[in-house]
Structure 1
């Protein structure tokens, strides 16, 4: 495939993160001609906690992605919750729908691995290709392709813009989603918005005194203070330490507000918060400036379907482009992978329809299926965020909820979205029932 030549595909995917790679993989598996466009070159970094819940691991298994330890993956047994001077280790539930373990892998290599998997399935990957906007049909206004700009190794424009045409374009270009914005599909102000900052630390010193990088538990610190521990304001969020098994750990924190306006009004310096939190960790963990690997980086977390419609006139939105991050825990990878799978199924089915109207209805089932599965859960998540924005609610949860095993069992399944959607124990049935009775997001 040469820059400067128009290429026709069955589907174009904009962005090769987890959502884009999943879409490309499943479309290619269905026999479609797939063009996957990525503005950077692999390997490239993304701001993330690098943790994968059992729900995400299940999606990787569906894709056939190998997750052996020798290939750079590390498993974790569950979540260690730290608050009020105590800690609790909560194993992942062992369910029929999801495995009883999570995993971790740095996005620097995870995204490349997923893109390569899509390529192995038949997708055509074109790196250093920045999509600058949609290509529209002059009469109908329907999306029929993209306009793209080839980039050089420094990320500068190289040569003339090119056009790639396809009957369906999938926007998987992240939280900003310039592609969706160019179509007038803007972010909603009534959805939660999170902020995350993270960095990496070498956790095994030269003396070998600590091995936090091999910790079998994902660690979550629920008391996130704006100031010294016990300080002025208890924020709705948590700090994390996720072991990567390669001598390093991902260390970061995330906070959430019920609306972007409330987040802007808060005015918190999250990088400073991370610095304060890290400086108060035990010395033997090795979270020092000498052991820090790379800078502190931050990103917004678009939550609860904060951009819609998910499908319109030839354009499909998946992952962060559609605001699919969970309001409960900031998890986005599992839903990105799921969205790619569901979108690909709708696209493949639409190819079999014989009229334009039938194809449009079939493509529209993607949005229906995603909302049916996640809409109620995201609605509960919005209510959860509104509650924990009140510091006294957070204090009560930490003081009275954490010491009770039944409560924590319920909270783990709810916040991690790891419950049996049908059947299971009473906890599963309660959560599933709640997601069905509330209005879909």
Structure 2
């Protein structure tokens, strides 16, 4: 592992011509930042391009699995938040808990996570250029975008990735229209678990992110406002009675994004840009981190053709479980039986939760 000074300094960055950096990263979300940090620590020169000024917020559940917390810590990212020790499923008549055996996860405000990642980029002298990527051109040895030429480009530009569309890597549009809405409430967490409330409308995730703050994310295909969706979760609504909103409502979706390939020449997709099933299992960041590590290994070996298989290998378990759970969720006869099944088979439920975490 090289010294962090091996990473490029802002004053050293040169614009387009012959490849002046090893890796250009499009997007400064968790997937993009983690890719850039790992690449710099591996001795590669890196530049990040991001059109938005940070820290960047996003509608998400904000629970980070234990394995992902450990990985970010190894990257030198200093996280602060509220630990959680398992997952609780709740419906109108059942409640079942699965506590983690390997260690706690961490509830972290997305803006707090983003700030920690950007600080680590700064510590490593990785330039973050505020610009849009725009048109991409490439040949057998380099790729040029945003007026930079690099040996490789990592596209971490989100769920509706413009780079993915530009390179015709998107698959057929899904008929699924699940979306997410998130808002924070000023209230002390009432449990040390992430709670998932189930109803006919969808799911509501409650994540403790500070000693006086919880995030509530609703996943549903139904139309309506955040407040109207909460009516479908009366037990949760009672919990939040009198709590003041601490953030504006944010939305994201449609969640399902099909991708037929994650590599086009010297461009590799990572994070949500590489395809997304659903937020149902809350494993988005963990999968993004695992696949970003594979991406860096592939470009270090100068074998981008290996990335597709590597991406599938490290993400298949989460994708399979999420797709299976979503399939059951979308069946009127099966959906009401998901939480009762977890309650009837708590050992199986705990095994699944701990396998993912």
* TM-score over 0.5 (shorter chain): yes
Query: Alignment partner for residue 251 of structure 2, among 298, 301, 304?
Result: 298
Larger Rg: 1
**Partner of residue 218, structure 1:** 194
Query: What is the number of residues matched between the two proteins?
Result: 344
**1:29 counterpart residue number:** 41
Q: Which residue does the alignment assign to 1:125?
A: 128
Alpha-carbon distance in structure 2 between the residues aligned to 1:280 and 1:78: 19
8 Å contact from structure 1 (residues 193, 301) kept in 2: yes
Q: Is the 8 A contact 1:56 1:337 kept in 2?
A: yes
Moved more, 27-36 or 399-408: 399-408
Partner SS for 2:305: helix
Q: Is residue 80 from structure 1 mapped to residue 88 from structure 2 by the alignment?
A: yes
| Distance (whole Å) between structure 2 residues aligned to residue 77 and residue 176 of structure 1 | 32
Contact map agreement 1:80 1:88 (CA 8 A) in 2: yes
Matched, 1:177 2:161: yes
Measured after TM superposition, the shift of residue 407 of structure 1 is 3.5
User: In structure 1, how many angstroms separate the alpha carbons of the residues matched to 2:249 and 2:108?
Assistant: 18
Of 58, 63, 71, which residue of structure 2 is paired with 1:51? 63
Q: Which moves more between the two structures, 380-389 or 194-203? A: 380-389
Cα shift at 1:43: 2.0
Match among 214, 226, 229 for residue 271 of structure 1: 226
Deviations 1:292-336 (A, max 9, x none): 123211102645x72231112110100000124556514311111
Among 97, 100, 122, the residue aligned to 1:92: 100
**1:108 is matched with which residue?**
111
Give the Å deviation of 1:10: 1.3
The more displaced of 396-405 and 272-281 is: 272-281
3-state secondary structure, aligned to 2:25: strand
Q: Which residue of 2 aligns with 1:391?
A: 332
- Structure 1 residues 175-324: aligned runs within 5 Å: 175-189=159-173, 194-203=178-187, 211-212=188-189, 215-222=191-198, 224=199, 234-235=200-201, 237-255=202-220, 268-269=223-224, 271=226, 273-277=228-232, 281=236, 283=238, 285-286=240-241, 288=243, 291-300=244-253, 302-303=255-256, 306-324=258-276
Q: Identify if the C-alpha distance between structure 1 residues 287 and 389 changes in structure 2 by more than 3 Å, giving closer, same or farther.
A: farther
Q: Given the superposition, is the C-alpha separation of residues 275 and 398 from structure 1 closer, same or farther in structure 2, using an over 3 Å criterion? A: closer
Per the normalisation by structure 2, the TM-score is 0.86
Work out the CA distance in 2 between the residues paired with 1:338 and 1:301.
23
Higher relative contact order structure (alpha carbons within 8 Å, sequence separation ≥ 6): 2
Q: 1:6 to 1:282 in 2, by over 3 A?
A: closer
**More deviation, 393-402/72-81:** 393-402
Please give the alpha-carbon distance, in whole angstroms, between the structure 1 residues aligned to 2:341 and 2:312: 34
Runs of 4+ in 1 over 6 A off after TM superposition: none
Alignment partners' CA distance in 2, 1:249 and 1:32: 38
Q: Which runs of 5+ in 1 are unaligned?
A: 95-99, 148-162, 204-210, 225-233, 256-262, 351-361, 419-441
Secondary structure at the residue paired with 1:113? helix
- From 363, 366, 388, the equivalent of 2:304 is 363
- Mapped to 1, the partners of 2:57 and 2:295 lie a distance apart of 25
Q: CA deviation at 1:388?
A: 2.0
Q: 1:408 matched to which residue of 2?
A: 349
Give the TM-score of the pair, scaled to structure 1. Answer: 0.71
Match of 2:6 in 1: none
* Per-residue deviation, 1:16: 0.6
1:392 match: secondary structure: coil
* Aligned-partner Cα distance in 2 for 1:384–1:191: 17
Deviations 1:354-396 (A, max 9, x none): xxxxxxxx11212211112223542343233222211221222
CA apart distance, 1:195 = 1.5
Are residue 146 (structure 1) and residue 145 (structure 2) matched?
Answer: yes
1:166 matches 2:150: yes
Decide whether the 8 Å contact of 2:291 with 2:315 is kept in 1.
Answer: no
Structure 2: state its 5+ residue gaps: 1-9
CA deviation string 1:230-274 (max 9, x = no partner) = xxxx24x4111111115221012113xxxxxxx6xxx53363543
Structure 1 residues 341 and 193, CA, compared in 2 at 3 Å: closer, same or farther? farther
SS of the aligned residue for 2:210 comes to: coil
Task: Provide closer, same or farther for how the CA distance between residues 172 and 278 of structure 1 changes in structure 2, counting only shifts above 3 A.
Answer: same
Aligned-pair RMSD on alpha carbons? 2.8
- The match for 2:136 is 134
